[in-house]
Amino acid sequence: MTSSHEQDYQNSWQERQDYAESMQPIIGKLYRKSGIEIAVYGRPLVSASTIDVIKAHKTVAQFEENKLRLRESFPFLEAISKMDLASARIDIGKLAYAYIYKNVAAGRSIEQYLTDELTEINETSHNEKPRDVVLYGFGRIGRLLARLLIEQGGPHANLNLRAIVVRGGRKGDLEKRASLLRRDSIHGPFNGSITVDEELKVIKANGAYIQVIYANSPDEVDYTAYGIENALVVDNTGIWKDEDGLGLHLKSKGTSKVLLTAPAKGAIKNVVYGVNNKDILNEDKIVSAASCTTNAITPTLKALNDKFGIENGHVETVHSYTNDQNLIDNYHSAERRGRAAALNMVITSTGAAKAVSKALPELEGKLTGNAIRVPTPNVSMAILNINLKNETTVEELNEYLRETALYSDLRDQIDYTASTEIVSTDLVGSRYAGVVDSQATIVDGKRVVLYVWYDNEFGYSCQVVRVMRDMAEVTHPSLPR
């Protein structure tokens, strides 16, 4: 015989499934028809499975005193679906929790409350032309950017992936490129359908029509021949890092701006989204999205500096191996990197600590850095050993970083975990620049040690897309503020 507790649990679970399944078509329609991305405490729900919707609601208890039940958030989603809104990212979790548990409604109905909270996108123009995007290079970052751009495609997409440019063109090349997009040993299978048109040299993926162009130099492509105009070219090759090299892209017809997915040399702006993206001006033709490590550490360092002040410190990165290293022992121009990547920890250099000052000038000359490459294929960690100007405690510091991750302008860059069991593979697919591991935080007066996880592939790619939106001047608000 089933016990009452068991029956109660089963009924509760069934209710959650029912609500999650009712939410999915609404979430999908909002995104396709209005360009509205729904989230719960930062966890995106577009294309999420039933279980993912339930799990997103479960995470609320990690940040707040009370649970947020799906039956509590559903009326907010339903009300939003009936409103005429412009494109935005709306966190129904935060809106619902504040209304139900923080008494912010002041006697207003859910509809009145949402009208007030979402005024910004009630008054925004609904007509935006998407920017054509070209991915120059189709390696690890290029393919993840393609996945993100395809995922965010549709009638209200603000970035339209039109083409990828690669070298080669040998027999079978197109299918191999498509296969690498379709299957990924780390990030799993592509969520959707991919086919190729060998005659037209096109990859078709979930409605995206992606022209594959073969070229050996950035300045030899006529993009207008493919109907591409005013394109933002994202250079993922890492071959060209200065204005002369990257400027070659601008000599091709149909291009207007270039974004480098690596640290740039010279006077090119190195941008860490959330920290100094406001420095991007319309007249900037070439911009760098800096490195994955610089993106991982700079938001947290900014948060520390804003609250406590930073005297100096050292950053040690424990970084997964990359294609730059050798699979087995062989010649390499760099010291130590010639040894087998999957068998060794390899001490190497990193410019990330110095690069922080390009996005956060107040830390100029205050940080040193080094790196250890380790035998894991993805997800890295930065250990921030920092001397502050003001004393703090573990409790105060963790509480501040938790609030920063939830409610500050850095909420899309900094995530926070209180798990005592989390390990690197748990962070594969994280969309944040870095994830603060609060259970590892050490504080001794003014000296603190913070451990920040980061998916050096996917998390970084999400940061790149955010910079792309700014460069294309198609940014959408994230609400509630």
Catalytic machinery residues: 292
Residue 165, burial from CB neighbour count under 10 angstroms (0-12, 13-18, 19+) = buried
Lookup: tokens for 207: 């409605």
Between CA 205 and CA 227 the distance in angstroms is 19
Residue 317: closest CA among 289, 290, 295, 341:
295
Say if CB 379 and CB 413 are below 8 A apart: no
Q: Which residues contact 12 (CB under 8 A, 6 or more apart)?
A: none
Rounding to the nearest 10 degrees, give the CA dihedral for residues 291, 296, 299, 301.
-100
**Angle, CA of 417, 419 and 424, to the nearest 5°:** 80
Q: What is the CA radius of gyration of the chain?
A: 23
Between CA 471 and CA 468 the distance in angstroms is 5
Q: In whole angstroms, what separates CA 409 from the centre of its chain?
A: 15
Beta strands in 112-215 (DSSP E): 131-136, 159-166, 194-197, 202-205, 208-214
Tell the residue number behind the tokens 């999420």, with chain if given. 48
Starting at the earlier edge strand, list the strands of the sheet with 43-44.
43-44, 36-40, 88-91, 478-479
Exposure letters 304-332 (e unless 16+ CB within 10 A, then b): bbeebebeebebbbbbbbbeebbeeeeee
Omega within 30 of 0 (cis) for the link into 480: yes
Between CA 43 and CA 57 the distance in angstroms is 9
Residue 167: closest CA among 201, 223, 213, 224:
213
Between CA 177 and CA 179 the distance in angstroms is 5
Q: What sign does the dihedral 274-280-282-284 (CA atoms) show?
A: negative
Lookup: tokens for 440: 């590892």
Question: How far are the Cα atoms of 96, 113, 131, 303 from residue 103, in angstroms, in the given order?
Answer: 11, 11, 41, 28
Between CA 481 and CA 117 the distance in angstroms is 9
Beta strands in 105-180 (DSSP E): 131-136, 159-166
Indicate left, alpha or beta for 236 from its phi (over 0: left) and psi (-120 to 50: alpha): alpha
